[in-house]
């Protein structure tokens, strides 16, 4: 397949593939990354494209599989985070006095997911994915000092929200027992 044939057959599928990827991932940047990866894979496999009678179907299948792989990686990252929280709890470092580390980890994940940018990205990059301050600042196109400020505010917000939720539950339990 020549580059011109590739442009005519596969490139017009880009918008549809993006919509499919966005439907699976609900994230603009990840959907764009998936489409780019799919196009690169299709280009690498262009010599075998005659095996497929329906190029659009082939594109859809490859995109769907990439999205599923990304969702599995997300799930694995979350499970690793829950495992780390469980280890901290077992070592007696649970700051909220609860034994349900899965609940706390899930709650933190929900809180972070609801945060506005740039707070969400800063927490995910630095605290969840383990990037250094320099790497996270470069990804976010900001300075290390600005990143530290954003992280400080984001972490404070998470602490306050966790305390609010746990204190609400404690106050509610006290009222019920009276």
What SS3 string covers 115-141? CCCCHHHHHHHHHHCCCCHHHHHHHHC
Residue bearing the bigger pLDDT, 141 or 101:
141
Domain count, the chain: 2
Residue bearing the bigger pLDDT, 46 or 88:
46
Helix axes 55-90, 28-44, angle to 10 degrees: 130
In a domain, 25, yes or no: yes
Burial of 27 (0-12, 13-18, 19+ CB in 10 A): middle
| Statement to judge: residues 103 and 36 lie in one domain | no
Q: Among 6-15, 70-79, 83-92, 157-166, which is the least confidently predicted range?
A: 83-92
Q: What 3-state DSSP class applies to 103?
A: helix
Alpha carbon distance 168, 149 (integer Å):
28
In a domain, 76, yes or no: no
In a domain, 170, yes or no: yes
In a domain, 80, yes or no: no
pLDDT computed for residue 94 by the predictor = 45
Q: Which of 71, 86, 112 is the last residue of a domain?
A: 71
| Statement to judge: residues 98 and 154 lie in one domain | yes
| Cα–Cα separations (whole angstroms), residue 121 to 84, 98, 101, 128, 137 | 20, 28, 23, 10, 10
* Tokens read off for 10: 């596969």
Task: Say if residue 33's pLDDT is above 60.
Answer: yes
| pLDDT tens by residue, 60-111 | 888 888 888 877 776 665 555 555 544 544 444 444 444 456 667 777 888 8
Please give the residue range of the domain that contains residue 54.
3-71
| Statement to judge: residues 62 and 103 lie in one domain | no
Average pLDDT for the chain: 75
* Tokens read off for 19: 């919509």
pLDDT computed for residue 154 by the predictor = 92
């Amino acid at each position: 397949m020549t580059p011109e044939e590739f442009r005519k057959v596969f490139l017009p599928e880009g918008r549809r593939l993006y919509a499919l990827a966005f439907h699976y991932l609900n994230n603009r940047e990840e959907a764009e990354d998936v489409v780019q990866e799919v196009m690169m894979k299709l280009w690498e496999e262009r010599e075998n494209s005659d095996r497929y009678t329906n190029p659009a179907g082939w594109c859809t299948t490859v995109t769907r599989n990439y999205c599923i792989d990304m969702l599995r990686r997300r799930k694995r990252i979350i499970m690793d985070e829950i495992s780390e929280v469980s280890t901290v709890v077992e070592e007696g470092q649970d700051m909220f006095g609860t034994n349900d580390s899965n609940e706390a980890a899930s709650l933190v994940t929900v809180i972070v997911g609801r945060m506005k940018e740039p707070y969400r990205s800063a927490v995910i990059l630095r605290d969840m994915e383990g990037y250094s301050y320099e790497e996270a600042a470069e990804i976010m196109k900001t300075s290390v000092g600005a990143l530290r400020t954003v992280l400080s505010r984001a972490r404070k917000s998470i602490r306050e929200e966790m305390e609010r939720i746990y204190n609400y539950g404690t106050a509610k339990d006290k009222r019920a027992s009276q």
